[in-house]
Structure 1
Amino acid sequence: MIQVVRTMLISRSLDDTVAYLADFAHTQEWDPATVSCVRLDQGPVRPGSLWRNVSRFRGRTTELSYRLDVQESDRLVFIGENSSAVITDDLRLTPVSEGSTRLVYAAAFRFKGLARLAAPFLRKDIDRLADDVAAALPRVTAR
């Protein structure tokens, strides 16, 4: 398993930040690896809501099904899965001031089957991806 953690300051209130991040379709705006992300169900975003995420990583396109697993006033957990990996995104949020929020973004990549053998070679690329997300997310949410 590979785990990465990044902390960033978001220039939005806690409630606005949670509402924005709860809709995983927004990953198209702040995750440079995401090619597309489409909600698969309807109604309010809630635990159990589903998205199809298409990402490009190391020159290859892959599709994951994501589910909102936990939705709290200060925490969101998404679980993405396909035949070769399970990715857990755990977002913990803390108000810093009236208009800003600290986000601790933790992602765990658990590889399945033969993909487990590649995990040690993916660490640098996953770290780079986490750095790119940490740079893009505060910039995008400041709009």
Structure 2
Amino acid sequence: MTTISRTFTVTPQPQVVLDYLKDFSHATEWDPGTESCTRRDSGPVVVGSSWDNTSKIAGVSTELVYELLELTDAKVVFKGENETASTIDDITVLPHEGGSEITYEAVIEMKGAAKLATPGVKLLFEKIGTDTEEDMTTVLNRL
């Protein structure tokens, strides 16, 4: 299992940030690996909403189904899963000096034969975590 965590600040208020982040289809704007992310259901985004996500990581395309597991006034939690990996993306958004402080924690677990790649996955996802923080900060500050 690999855990990546970043904490950073942005200028929009927490509710604005959470309203944006709860729709995982926006990952195409802030996640450097996401190539496409399409909602599987319709209506308001609620716990149980899900998305088909295609990402390219280190030149390899992978598809995961993401589901919104938790949505509160301070947090969104998504679970992504396919045959070779599962991930929990836990995003906490708190008030901070007129804007928001975001803590983004991703826990990635490789499955089956892919578990052998776990040591290399940590290094790769540390880089992706830094890129995600930069992209998410830029996108959220535009809201």
Alignment TM-score > 0.5, same fold? yes
Q: Deviations over 1:77-103 (max 9, x none)?
A: 0000000000000001110133x1000
1:30 aligns to 2:7 (yes or no): no
**1:108 maps to what in 2?**
107
Aligned length: 142
Deviating 4+ runs (over 3 angstroms): none
Q: CA deviation at 1:11?
A: 1.5
Superposition RMSD in Å: 0.7
Q: What secondary structure is seen at the aligned counterpart in 2 of 1:114?
A: helix
1:69 aligns to 2:69 (yes or no): yes
Q: What secondary structure is seen at the aligned counterpart in 2 of 1:73?
A: coil
| Unpaired stretches in structure 1, ≥5 consecutive residues | none
| Unpaired stretches in structure 2, ≥5 consecutive residues | none
1:97-136 correspondence runs (5 A): 97-98=97-98, 100-136=99-135
Distance 1:137 1:8 in 2: 10
Distance 1:130 1:139 in 2: 14
Distance 1:38 1:101 in 2: 27
Distance 1:97 1:122 in 2: 35
Q: Deviations over 1:100-131 (max 9, x none)?
A: 10000000001110011111122111100000
Residue identity over aligned pairs, in percent, reads: 36
Distance 1:36 1:8 in 2: 25
| Aligned residue type for 1:73 | D
TM-score by length of 2: 0.97
Q: What secondary structure is seen at the aligned counterpart in 1 of 2:21?
A: helix
